Structure 1
Amino acid sequence: MAANGQSSLFATLFRLEELENLKLLNDDVAFKLHDLPPENLFPIKLTRFTLLNTSLDWRKMSTLGKLENLEVLKLKDNAHQGELRVTEDGGFRNLKIRLYGS
């Protein structure tokens, strides 16, 4: 863990060039994901992304909307905080499936 509570996973995530499916699952109720890395640090082939118990502020979701190949987004059990709303224009261009809840 970094000093601000963020995982050092993000520092090398972009090196997983062939990664297509990423799940961020949190089992520490005291931990909250404060931010996501910029879109250029996600693997280019990422098509599926799941967040579970991360309590990410919904305003930070615009980063995911910029992922060009993202087709499936699953937000499960406290994946985010705040009201679900549309992100900035042009986001989630290739999203085919969006799942909320369990």
Structure 2
Amino acid sequence: MITLSSDFGSPYPAVMKGVLCSRTDTHLVDIAHDFPRQDVRTAAFWLREVLPYFPSAVHLVVVDPGVGTERKALVVRAGEHALVGPDNGILLPAARALAEGE
């Protein structure tokens, strides 16, 4: 299962899903695509909050004021979870929660 979160708004999540579906046969779940533009804190909060409801999932988050720059992407693995997103702190609260066993 892959969860998807972004500040893209419509129709861009559909494009992201199309790319993912062409590469994998997994279940895609939308968390939200209407986070306030570039609001890393809000998206980070909600990523952390939904973790317990999606065991064994990959969580893909794209909310980044530096999108389109050379900012690196991160993959954080913890137990059955994989967190994927920009290196802007968005994954930190969720990674901490997983490390603490929440």
TM-score of the pair, normalised by structure 1: 0.35
More helix by share: 2
